[in-house]
Amino acid sequence: MKVTQVSAFLENRPGRLLYLLNILAEAHVNLVAHNIVDASDFGIIHLLVDRPERALEAIRDAGITCSSTTVLVVTVPDKPGAFVRCVLQPLADAEVNIEYSYTYSTPGSGAASIVLKVDDLDTGERALEAHAE
């Protein structure tokens, strides 16, 4: 499934993540998942939220550099080898490159969701749908 991911560029110092997430809370935007990539003095935080357009507007209004991109989210069984069978092998077979990924799951749910930034969204989505368990 294609979803919009919001990314923000933050200084790597105490309180900046708190500041950003308070902006989202005040805008009534719910955080679903996040990933932070450290780049020394700055970091990029990738966010999955329930209202990406509202999140972008609120973050920009606060003077924080942000952008959006489309990513794939796939849910796989929470079992050994499922990531390989359901995600990695189909994308490799379709010659789709994974630029980055992160995972979120709910313990006891029996499934995990994987967020994937790939170089070919349509081909990647078709490959994953064809191998869904």
Q: What is the pLDDT of residue 121?
A: 93
- Mark whether 18 and 51 lie in a shared domain: yes
Q: What is the pLDDT of residue 109?
A: 82
- Mark whether 27 and 15 lie in a shared domain: yes
Q: What is the pLDDT of residue 107?
A: 74
Quick one: tokens of 93? 């077979």
pLDDT of the chain, 133 residues: tens digit per residue:
999 999 999 998 899 999 999 999 999 999 999 999 887 889 999 999 999 999 999 999 999 999 999 999 999 998 899 999 999 999 999 999 999 999 877 777 888 788 888 999 999 999 999 887 7
Q: What is the pLDDT of residue 39?
A: 76
- Mark whether 51 and 83 lie in a shared domain: no
- Mark whether 99 and 55 lie in a shared domain: no
Beta strands across the sheet bearing 66-77: 31-39, 42-49, 2-11, 66-77, 111-118, 98-105
Count of domains for the chain: 2
- Mark whether 64 and 7 lie in a shared domain: yes
- What's the rounded Cα separation, in Å, for the pair 28 and 57? 12
What is the extent of the structural domain holding 113? 71-130
- Mark whether 9 and 36 lie in a shared domain: yes
**CATH classification at residue 115:** 3.30.70.260
- Mark whether 10 and 51 lie in a shared domain: yes
- Mark whether 75 and 41 lie in a shared domain: no
- Mark whether 62 and 11 lie in a shared domain: yes
- Mark whether 82 and 47 lie in a shared domain: no
DSSP lists the bridge partners of residue 9 as 44
> 72 with 58: CB under 8 angstroms?
no
Q: What is the pLDDT of residue 78?
A: 87
